[in-house]
Amino acid sequence: MKTLIEQLRPALVIFAGLALLTGLAYPLLVTGIAQVALPGQANGSLVVGTGGGAVGSALIGQSFSDPRYFWGRPSATAGGPYVPYDGKTLTGSSGSNLGPLSADLRQAAAARIAALQAADPGNAAPIPADLVTASASGLDPDISLAAALYQASRVARARGIAEGTVRQLILAQAQGRWLGLFGEPRVNVLALNRALDAV
Q: Do 119 and 62 lie in a common domain?
A: yes
Q: Does residue 198 register a pLDDT over 90?
A: no
Beta bridge partners of 48: 54
Whole-angstrom distance, CA of residue 125 vs CA of residue 150: 7
Helix (H, G, I), strand (E, B) or coil at 65: coil
Burial class (CB in 10 A: 0-12, 13-18, 19+), 175: middle
Do 79 and 28 belong together in one domain? no
pTM of the model: 0.74
Taking the C-alpha atoms of residue 12 and residue 43, their distance in angstroms, rounded to an integer, is: 35
Q: Is residue 167 part of a domain?
A: yes
Q: Are residues 29 and 59 in the same domain?
A: no
pLDDT at 78 exceeding the cut of 60: no
Q: Letter for the amino acid at 54?
A: A
Give me the chain's average pLDDT, please: 84
81 and 134 inside one domain: yes
- Report yes or no on 46 lying in a domain: no
Look at residue 191 and tell me if it is in a domain.
yes
Asked whether residue 22 is domain-assigned, the answer is yes
Q: How many CB atoms lie within 10 A of CB 191?
A: 16
Q: Please check the confidence at residue 81 and state whether its pLDDT lies above 50.
A: no
pLDDT of residue 91: 54
How far is the C-alpha of 164 from the C-alpha of 125, rounded, in Å? 16
With a cut of 70, say whether residue 80 has pLDDT above it: no
Domain that residue 189 falls in: 51-198
Q: Number of folded domains in the chain?
A: 2
Report pLDDT for 139. 78
Distance from C-alpha of 22 to C-alpha of 169, rounded to nearest angstrom = 47
Q: What is the pLDDT of residue 77?
A: 66
Q: Which of 36-40, 54-58, 109-113, 152-156 has the lowest mean pLDDT?
A: 54-58
In terms of average pLDDT, the best of 31-35, 55-59, 73-77 is 31-35
Q: How far is CA 88 from CA 63, 85, 92, 139, in A?
A: 21, 9, 11, 20
Q: Helix 163-173 crosses helix 189-198 at what angle (to 10 degrees)? A: 130
